[in-house]
A and B are shown apart, each in its own frame.
Chain A
Amino acid sequence: MNVLKIVLQVLGILILIPAVAIATLRLDNQNADGPSILFPGGELVSGELYTGPEPDWSFTDDVQTVELQLVDPLSSRLIFVMESEGKVYVPSGYMRSTLGKIWKDWAFQADEGNGLAVVRIDGTRYERQLLRIKEGPVLDGIVAKMGSKYGGGATATPEAIQAGRASVEAGDIWIFEMAPRGG
């Protein structure tokens, strides 16, 4: 009985340490200027605020992740980015899984709210509005870019594009266009 108690106490401490570490990292980062690799951050405040004409978004082909901050609620995270036909998009996967419902709260908030966002790419901030793309042939180019950019570098096959588009139209993957505000 004494041995069991000692084992349980040691187990408790071993569980406590990572739990406290994760909670501390989460809380420490929640008001930071941008997200860390794993934990959401706060408002994006540093970096030039872009005010010119709509940029040529093809430069994002060389950008792995961007910092995306919703205006309401105010939080930021690292997100993949795809350019297609002159427009720029961000994805959110696992949306119909339990993991997605817990982890991807930003996507639900963007879809249900006004979608106003700020994205920081290579140190420059852009004020955008997230508009969800649920269906349509526009998805073909987006899915193809997502597959080739984040799926190993090979050009996406027609079958892969069709499967990816089906995933989006089924709601497993959500795609948001980062459109100009008020546009």
Chain B
Amino acid sequence: MKILTGNDLKTGDVIWWTGSDWSRHIEDAVDVGENFEALLHQEEAARRVNTPYAIDATATEDGPRPAHIKDRVRALGPTVRPDLTLKPADPEAGNWII
């Protein structure tokens, strides 16, 4: 699947395209297929997202999993600071990152 990501223009937060909006949680990301160029331009122009791009991902029961390690790290947070990730309470949360 292809999903869209970028950083929130004002806050810098990592965000994912949900089909109608942006979410901080990759679990909300939807498959955009191959026709995403116009969407990227539209969202960049709307200044909701900074430098959005499309990535390859695999659909799993727990949500999309990016193909590239960099986007997997982006999806949760720094592997060396679990307390600062999106799921600080779950020690297993980062098991799929590396």
Do the two shown chains form a genuine complex with each other?
no
